[in-house]
Amino acid sequence: MPEGHSVHRLARQFNDVFGGAPLAVSSPQGKFAAGASLIDGLELERAEAHGKQMFLYFSQDRVMRVHLGLYGAWDFGGDSTFTGASSIGAPRRIGEQEVGGADASASPAANAGGRREYTGPPEPQGAVRVRLVSPHGWADLRGPTACEVISPAESAAVRRKLGPDPLNNAPGDAEEFSRRIRKSSTPTALQLMKQDVLAGVGNVYRAEVLFRLGLDPMLPGKSLQPDEAAALWNDIALIMADGVRDGRIITTELADRPSGVGAEVGHGQSRLVRPGSEPAAAVRKRNANKDVPVEEAHYVYKREGLPCRHCGTEVAMKDLGGRKLYWCPGCQAG
DNA sequence: GCCCTATGTTAAA
DNA sequence: TTAACCTAGGGCT
C-alpha cells in the first residue's frame, strides 16, 4: 500500500502531466461510470495530496477524491512530453519500487517491439476503474478503496477530519500532532496509524520510525514527552520526504547497509534525536537512495526472526489492531 | 487452478 | 472484534 509518500508523488505527477488540461474521463470497468460522467471533459485545475488521499480539483466545482487503499494503483503513459513514473501505487512484492521512471515517455504497448509514435492509450488491461485521457497521455486507476466525485465543501470536510500531514508540514502542524498523540493512552504504534492523529503514515513508516527513535511501540501516547513527540514528527517528515524523492521507502542509514549503496537517510544516527539537534548539512547532502538493495531498506518491517541491525536481537512481530507490528525487543524495550 | 499475502479503511456484530 | 471490500502476484498443487 501506498503510504502518504506515494500519494504525494501522484499529486505531483498529476499536476505535471495533466494540470490545466481538459481530460476525457471514463470507467472501462463500469463501477465509476456515474462519477466519470460528472467530470468528463472538465479541466483539471490542480491535484493535492493530504495523507493517503488525493484530491483532483476540476473546473465547475467538481472534486474527484481517490483513496488507493491496500490495492489501488495508477498506471501512466503518453507521448514524449509525458514524463515521470509509469506506475504508482500498491506494491506487489516487498520493497517493490515504481515501474518506469525516466524512460516512461510512452505507453508500454506503444513501446513494445521498438520505438514508435504514441498512438493513444492501450486497450484497458484488467479492471480499470477510471481512465483519464489528455491530448498527451493517459492514466488508469484500478482497485481503489474510494473514488468519488464530490463538492469543494465536501472535500474540505474530509480534509478537516484528517490530522496534519508531515509532507505538507504547515506552520503549527508539529505542535498539533504532539497535542493529538499525547491526548490518549492508546499505544504509540496504534496512534501513528490513526489518520486523524497523523495523516499519511502506514504500517511500514510507523514500524521504522519507532525503531529509528528507539521507542517502545506499546508506550501510551500520553506518556510521550513533548520532545519525543517532536522527534517523531521530525523523523517522519524526514523519511517520508525521502520516500517522495525516491519513490520507495528506504529508512536505513548508510552506516547500516553492508552494501554501502546510497546515501544517508538523514541525521546519520538512529537513536532519539532531540529537536533542533539534527545537523542541517547532513540533511542537505541527502542523495537518491533508490538503488539500495531491498533487503537493506528497512530496520524491522518484515524482518521478524532476523537479527536487529544494531543489537543482533531477533526482530519480533505481533498482531496489533489487525495489522502486523514489527519491532526490536532489544532496542525498543519498554 | 487455489490459496495466501499486501505500505488500508469501513461497517456490522 | 470481525468481516468485507478492492486487485494482482507469487507460491503452491
Query: Which residue from A211, A328, A227 is spatially nearest to A271, judged by alpha carbons?
Result: A211
Interatomic CA distance for residues A66 and A54, integer angstroms: 5
Residue A279 has pLDDT above 60, yes or no: no
**A162 CA vs B13 C1’ separation (Å):** 27
All cell numbers assigned to A12:
505531483
Nucleotides in B strand less than 7 A from protein CB: 6-10
Q: State pLDDT tens for residues A244-272.
A: 988 999 999 999 999 988 877 754 443 34
At residue A76 the predicted structure's pLDDT band, cuts being 50, 70 and 90, is very high
**Residue A67: per-residue pLDDT:** 97
Interatomic CA distance for residues A27 and A42, integer angstroms: 15
Query: Which residue from A41, A37, A42 is spatially nearest to A59, judged by alpha carbons?
Result: A42
Asked whether residue A267, judged by its CB, lies under 7 Å from any atom of the DNA or RNA strand B, the reply is: no
* Residue A19 identity: G
**A84 CA vs C6 C1’ separation (Å):** 26
**A59 CA vs B4 C1’ separation (Å):** 44
Mean pLDDT of all residues in A164-193: 96
Asked whether residue A249, judged by its CB, lies under 7 Å from any atom of the DNA or RNA strand B, the reply is: yes
Residue pair A221/A186 in contact (Cβ under 8 Å)? The answer is yes
Q: State pLDDT tens for residues A181-201.
A: 999 999 999 999 999 999 999
Mean pLDDT of all residues in A56-82: 94
**Residue A285: per-residue pLDDT:** 41
Residue A131 forms beta bridges with which residues?
A: A26, A140
At residue A156 the predicted structure's pLDDT band, cuts being 50, 70 and 90, is very high
**A208 CA vs C12 C1’ separation (Å):** 31
Residue A277 has pLDDT above 70, yes or no: no
Asked whether residue A247, judged by its CB, lies under 7 Å from any atom of the DNA or RNA strand B, the reply is: no
Residue pair A326/A319 in contact (Cβ under 8 Å)? The answer is no
Query: Which residue from A178, A276, A159 is spatially nearest to A232, judged by alpha carbons?
Result: A178
At residue A83 the predicted structure's pLDDT band, cuts being 50, 70 and 90, is confident
**Residue A282: per-residue pLDDT:** 38
Residues 174-233 of chain A within 7 A of strand C, judged by CB, are none
Query: Mean pLDDT in chain A?
Result: 88
Mean pLDDT of all residues in A229-257: 94
Residue A319, nucleotide of least CA–C1' distance: C1
**Residue A106: per-residue pLDDT:** 44
More confident residue, A84 or A30: A30
Residue pair A208/A296 in contact (Cβ under 8 Å)? The answer is no
Residue pair A195/A311 in contact (Cβ under 8 Å)? The answer is no
**Residue A272: per-residue pLDDT:** 42
Query: Cell 521504522 identifies what position?
Result: A208
H/E element, A191 = helix A188-191
In angstroms, the Cα distances linking A255 to A208, A236, A239, A296 are 16, 19, 16, 11
**Residue A305: per-residue pLDDT:** 94
Nucleotides in C strand less than 7 A from protein CB: 2-3, 5-10
Catalytic residues of A: 2-3, 52, 323
At residue A163 the predicted structure's pLDDT band, cuts being 50, 70 and 90, is very high
Strand A73-78 vs strand A62-67: parallel, antiparallel, or unpaired?
unpaired
Asked whether residue A52, judged by its CB, lies under 7 Å from any atom of the DNA or RNA strand C, the reply is: no
Mean pLDDT of all residues in A322-330: 96
**Residue A115: per-residue pLDDT:** 57
State whether the Cα torsion A194-A301-A142-A245 is positive or negative.
positive
Residue A17 has pLDDT above 60, yes or no: yes
Residue A198 forms beta bridges with which residues?
A: none
A9: helix, strand or coil:
helix
**A222 CA vs C8 C1’ separation (Å):** 40
